[in-house]
Every structure is written in C-alpha cells, then in structure tokens.
Structure 1
Amino acid sequence: MGDEQRTGAFPMLENVATWQNLMFLYESAIKEVRTKLDILSEEFQNNYRYNPIEYVKSRIKTPENIVKKMRRQGYEITMENMVEKINDVAGVRIVCDFTSDIYRLVKMIRNLKEFEVIREKDYIANPKDSGYRSYHMIVKVPVYTTTEVVKTKVEIQIRTIAMDFWATLEHKIYYKFEGNAPDYISRDLQTCASIVAQLDDKMLSLNDAVMRASDRLDNSVTED
C-alpha cells in the first residue's frame, strides 16, 4: 500500500512520529503488566507452591482494527479519540485453570498500587448473549519516559483454558461471517458455551476435592 493510499485509509498515520510514540507507550504498558504478572506468579509459587496463571498472551490492535472499531462506534478517526475512547488498543489475556483463579487474580490486580482500575466487567457472572464468558478489567499503567510519566490504558482479560478455547473459536467465526453467522451456528456456539461453563464448574469441584483429600493425607502423615 502506497503512502498516499495508506494515510487516506488511516488518517491517524499522517503524523508518523506521534503514532510511533503512542505505540511505544502501549507496548511499554503491556511490558509493565506482564512484568507485574511474572512477579505475582513467582510470589504465589514461592508462598503457596501453586501458580494461578497458566499462560499470558498480549497484543496491540492493528491500525485496521482500531479504525474499524472507531467507525463502528461512531467516532471521528483521530489519535485523540483513539487514546480517549478506545480502551483495548493494548490488550493482555491471562489464562487460568479454574474460575476461582480468575477472581483471585482480579483481587491481586486491584491491590497493585501502581495500577488504576477504571472499569471492570464480569462476563462470567453475566455472560454475553453469545455465551461469551471472561473477566475484563481496564487499567491505567504508568509508563516512565525520559521526560514524564504517562498513564496508559490496557485491557486485561482473565479466563479459563476452556473459556479461551471457546472465545478463540467464536472470534474466528465472527470474522469469517463479519458478525452475521447463521442462526444454527450461533445456537451451537451458545450450546458449547453452556457445556464449557459446566466443565469449568466440574473441574473446579474436582480440584477442590483433590485439595481436601491431599490435606487429609498430609494431616494423617503428620499425626503418624
């Protein structure tokens, strides 16, 4: 794509230096979040011999997807509106084994003094109509440059492995059909979402039973 065509499609890119600076801030904010998560993981492993985080993914939205979202929401395509209105330019996804881990991590993130939580949405307690389940947090993260500290927004999504599998498939279907999947596919997705929720509940119950049995075994060995 030529420069003229590119800036016509994405007017935000006309000021290249400003755009690159903003992307630097978003990338740095993601690094800050991932560093904090690494520290929390190590601390939890040291203190409890258990890590609630299975793995972490991160991404920066492409200019194409940023523009699509701004147009869909009726915003003028400017960098100012992107920073002010679009909360998920920078995104971090935390994947856990169990739903209890999700809420444990939510509390841990809330307690991070460096992070300012500005919005939370619990799609586990209140799933979307599609069946989507996850916990979303929008946080402002301090990014330290040579001249200032810039609080930069990052969306954090926390979900189980099963939720992540379902959401990945739903995302592919959404883009395959441009948001207009046939009714029978949408119904099947909702059915799968219910099965995933039941699986998460069953796996959590099973894990709780294993932990109780392990505690009883440890107590028995100690008494002997």
Structure 2
Amino acid sequence: MINEHQNSLNPSRIREEMRNVANSVTPEQIGQLTTLFQLYHSGMNEFGTKLENLDAEFHTRYDYNPIHHMEARMKDVASLFNKMKKKGIPFQKDAIQQNIFDIAGIRVITNYIDDIEAIEDNLLKQDDVTLIRRKDYVNNPKDSGYRSLHLILSVPVFQTDGPYEVPVEIQI
C-alpha cells in the first residue's frame, strides 16, 4: 500500500497557492496547471500499481517482500514555482513538461540494499517504462551519507485525447 501525501489536484487550492507565489494568475493558467497535475497524478498512480504488483509477485513467488513501504507525493505549487524561477522556466505548460521531472514522485523504502537493484531491474523490464535519468547515490553516497537510487521514469497515461508520456521520480 502506498501512503499518499496531500496533493494539489483541487483547482481552488491550486488557485490559492498560485496567488501566493505569482503576481497575476489567469484562469487559463490555473486550468493548465490543474490539468497537468491530474496527468502527473495519473502517472504516479500507474507506477504505484506497477510497484505494488511487483511486491505482490515477490510475496507470492518467493515468500519475500522487497518493499517495506512506499510514499507518494505531488510537488506543491509553491515548490514548483520556486524551481521554475530558479531555473528560469516560464509559466507555460510545455516548458514545465520539458524541464521539471519531479512533479510526481514515489519513495520506495526497501528492506535491504540488494532490493534496490531488484526493483529497478524489474521496473525497467516493463516495455512501457522508459528511463529518462538515473542518479546512483547507493554506490556513490552523498557527503552526508545519504544513499538512494533516484530514477526519472516515464510511463504512458491514456487520456480522452490520447496517450501522454508522463515522467515520475522514483526514489528507491
């Protein structure tokens, strides 16, 4: 089961948060951001299902669960705007999609270090999953001692107007 942190799919909440970080916000911008967040939330759900299915299979086949627990979260609007400002990204849907890859994220806590590689390998074997970026802090820990594998993976999300490749950050 995935613990999901409060997300920002509510248009009223997005409008309020946008007003706190942007001087003038148009209804069109609110609509675009709401649509974008819904799309990324769906991508997060796709990966959540994939991870839960892998964990269930490990339990059934090997009487072992590599995943201790998972947490999912959507980036809050203020954090998104701060990142856009820092990177000089204009408030345009296409610019956000091409430059920000951690709007949706899942943190996977494993029981053992070896489980990290097993989860990565099994996710990447799936033909609808595409690796965009990989940062290995397991074999190359940060100075603080932090160890994790950060993956930006994309998965198709099917909407009424067609499929979209949606990136999701997976931290294992």
**Which residue does the alignment assign to 1:51?**
65
CA 1:129 to 1:148, structure 2 compared with 1: closer, same or farther past 3 Å? same
**Which residue does the alignment assign to 2:97?**
83
Amino acid corresponding to residue 116 of structure 1 in structure 2? T
1:80 Cα deviation after fit: 2.3
1:38 Cα deviation after fit: 1.2
Which deviations, in whole Å up to 9, do the C-alpha atoms of 1:93-122 show, x marking residues without a partner?
100111011111111111111111111111
Which deviations, in whole Å up to 9, do the C-alpha atoms of 1:181-205 show, x marking residues without a partner?
xxxxxxxxxxxxxxxxxxxxxxxxx
1:144 Cα deviation after fit: 0.8
- Structure with greater proportional helix content: 1
**Aligned residues: CA RMSD:** 2.3
2:87 aligned with 1:65, yes or no? Answer: no
TM-score computed with the length of structure 2 as normaliser: 0.83
Which deviations, in whole Å up to 9, do the C-alpha atoms of 1:39-80 show, x marking residues without a partner?
111111111000100111101101100111122223334332
CA 1:4 to 1:146, structure 2 compared with 1: closer, same or farther past 3 Å? closer
What is the CA–CA distance in structure 2 between the aligned matches of 1:134 and 1:96, rounded to whole Å?
A: 10
**Which residue does the alignment assign to 2:145?**
131
- Structure with greater proportional strand content: 2
Larger CA Rg, structure 1 vs 2: 1
Q: Which has the higher contact order (CA 8 A, sep 6+)?
A: 2
Number of residues paired by the alignment? 158
1:12 Cα deviation after fit: 8.1
What is the CA–CA distance in structure 1 between the aligned matches of 2:67 and 2:18, rounded to whole Å?
A: 45
1:84 Cα deviation after fit: 0.8
1:86 Cα deviation after fit: 0.8
Amino acid corresponding to residue 98 of structure 1 in structure 2? Y
**Which residue does the alignment assign to 2:114?**
100
1:146 Cα deviation after fit: 1.7
Secondary structure in 2 matching 1:76? coil
TM-score computed with the length of structure 1 as normaliser: 0.64
Structure 1: gaps (5+ residues): 159-224
